[in-house]
Amino acid sequence: MNFYESISKYYQYIFPLNNMQVDFIEKSHQQAKDQLSVLDIGCAIGDLSLKLAESCQKVIGIDLDKGMIDQAIAKGKKFKNLDFHLQNMLELESAFGANSFDIIACFGNTLVHLNSYEEVLQFFRNAKSVLKKDGKLLFQIINYDRIIDQNIDHLPTIENGIIKFERKYKYHSSLGKVDFETTLSIKESNQCIQNCIALLALRKSKIEKLLRKEGFTNISFFGNFKRENHIENSLPLIVEAS
C-alpha cells in the first residue's frame, strides 16, 4: 500500500480545505471567477476542486491515487461543471490539449513528488501549453531553502481529536532529495501508519530558472496564501507564474 492510499481515509482530518487557497486562486486572474477554467493537480479527495466548482465555470481535478479520485468522484456528482480524472501531471498536453485552462493550481507539495529537474521542466512545458494566453500557473511546496540551510528535520505536528500526524525530513545533499518520514496515529483505534517517501528538494532559485527556461516571464513568490512576501523563514513557498 502506497503512502497516499494508506492515509486516504483520514485525508480530510490531516489536510482540511484551506479557504485561503480558494481566494488565492480566484484572485490570481483578472477574468471574472464565473468565467474561469481551472485544473487542480494533485486534487486528492477533491475538496478544493469542489469548492472552486461552486463559483468557477469549469474545474477538473487530477490525481494519481485511485482511492483519492474515487472519493472525489463520489462527492462531486452533483456538479455538472466538475470532473475528476486519474491522470499523470506529466501528460497534461496529451490529456487536455492546448489553451484549455485559465488557471493551473498545484498545491500540497505535489510538485516535489516528481523525480528530477527534467521532470519538473516537462511539467512546466506541459503547463505552459495547456494554459491560455493569459493563464496562470500556481503552485505551492515546502520552503526547501529553509529545510536545507537551517537543517530543519521536521515539520509541525498536525493533531486533532481524530489523528496525530508527525512529519520528519532527512536531507541527502548528494541526491538533492529529502526523505519524508511520516507517522499517522489514529486515536480511536490506536492504529499507527508509518511511511517514507523521497521528495525533490527544489530551491527557489532553481524553480525560477526552470520556469524561465520554459517561457514563464512573470514570476512571483509568496510566503503564504495571503500573498505576503516570501522570506527566509517562510514555511511554504508559493509561486504564481505566467
- Mean pLDDT throughout 112-133? 97
Q: Residue 108: left if φ>0, alpha if ψ -120 to 50, beta else—which one?
A: left
pLDDT over 80 at 1, yes or no: no
* Cβ-Cβ contacts under 8 Å for 229 (sequence gap 6 or more): 221, 222, 223
Nearest to 25 by CA among 15, 13, 14, 37: 37
Q: Are 234 and 146 in contact (CB under 8 A)?
A: yes
Nearest to 89 by CA among 27, 139, 26: 139
- CA max distance for the chain: 51
- Mean pLDDT throughout 105-119? 97
Architecture of domain 3-143+201-241: 3-Layer(aba) Sandwich (3.40)
Question: pTM for the whole thing?
Answer: 0.96
pLDDT digits (tens, 9 = 90+) for 167-222: 999 999 999 999 999 999 999 999 999 999 999 999 999 999 999 999 999 999 99
pLDDT digits (tens, 9 = 90+) for 140-165: 999 999 999 999 999 999 999 999 99
In the beta sheet, which residues pair with residue 82? 59
pLDDT digits (tens, 9 = 90+) for 92-103: 999 999 999 999
Q: What's the rounded Cα separation, in Å, for the pair 142 and 155?
A: 10
Rg of the chain in Å (alpha carbons)? 17
Domain coordinates of the chain in residue numbers? 3-143+201-241, 145-199
